[in-house]
Amino acid sequence: MRKPLVAGNWKMNGSSESIKKLLSALIKGAKSVKNAEIAVCPPYIYIPGTAGMLSGTNIVWGSQNVATEESGAYTGEIAVSMLKDFKCTYAIVGHSERRTLYGDTDQVVADRFARALAGGVTPMLCVGETLAERESGSTEAVVERQLKAVIDKNGIQSIAKCVIAYEPVWAIGTGKTASPEQAQDVHAFIRNYLAGQDMQVANGVRILYGGSVNAGNAKELFAKADIDGGLIGGASLKADDFLTICNSF
Ligand code: 13P
């Protein structure tokens, strides 16, 4: 049985004050969330404060990225040991904004994934196609290529220790959600692809959907057989909306 997970990716948003407010509201509201695990991924600099407020609650936290290296002369990078130091449960790797804006290749994503796992932080691996790729019929090939790079480096068993997030790039921040059927089709493809290598891994791994999930459409998406929760951007910055999404199972 896969426990649903709703994770908020706050991206580069918030301030000490707004985050305190948001977390206070989430802590209160999350007490009555019974059917899903809840996670938030603040900007790095707010992780210590977030950890302080969330420890002892039923909300866990994570980062939005992790360095490919363990330590040393890598100006501006954050190592997995530092994330572990602040008790991060998850590290997002391969978000499409990292891939497209900061040049994270499939290989770099596989390296980040490896580093997170080795450091005891669960990678949340994002995959997904652009609009042009969808329109040219290559959605499955793209998603397969992105998964294969991680599996080639880390082995199929590593997938049992991660969370996958399918995030079609054209649905991110656009208000254009994939229909529940479109999302389910790709989720089923991912699970089948994994099942071709290891049935147990395929059945156990949680596959989240991300891309314009909101309080109004979460229920329909989460009702699909292979959608095990959501990775939420914009709506995760509003406590009421995020909590509604968490209660959509
Ligand atoms: P939105 O929910 O704002 O579309 O963002 C989705 C996302 O990129 C989560 O990682």
pLDDT in tens, 61-100: 999 999 999 999 999 999 999 999 999 999 999 999 999 9
95, 97, 129, 133: the active-site residue:
95
Cα–Cα distances (Å) from 114 to 40, 66, 71, 147, in that order, read: 21, 10, 15, 13
Ligand 1 geometric centre to CA of 216 (Å): 15
Whether 187 sits among the annotated catalytic residues: the reply is no
Ligand 1 proximity of 233 Cβ (cutoff 6 Å)? yes
Ligand 1 geometric centre to CA of 123 (Å): 17
Ligand 1 proximity of 172 Cβ (cutoff 6 Å)? yes
Q: What whole-number distance in Å separates Cα of residue 50 and Cα of residue 152?
A: 34
Question: What percentage of the chain carries pLDDT values higher than 90?
Answer: 97
Tell whether the model's pLDDT for residue 175 goes beyond 90.
Answer: no
Ligand 1 geometric centre to CA of 42 (Å): 13
Instruction: Please give the pLDDT value at position 167.
Output: 98
Split at pLDDT 50, 70, 90, the class of 209 is: very high
pLDDT in tens, 17-51: 999 999 999 999 999 999 999 999 999 999 999 99
37, 97, 167, 187: the active-site residue:
167
Looking at the structure of the chain, the number of domains it has is 1
Instruction: Please give the pLDDT value at position 32.
Output: 96
DSSP state of 73: S
Average pLDDT, the chain: 98
Ligand 1: which of 6, 9, 104 to mutate, judged by most atoms within 8 Å of the beta carbon?
9
Split at pLDDT 50, 70, 90, the class of 129 is: very high
Give the amino acid at 6.
Answer: V
- Domain range for 31: 5-246
Close Cβ partners of 20 (under 8 Å, ≥ 6 residues apart): 49, 53
Q: What CATH number has the domain bearing residue 55?
A: 3.20.20.70
Cα torsion for 191, 62, 108, 138, to the nearest 10°?
40
Whole-structure pTM value: 0.98
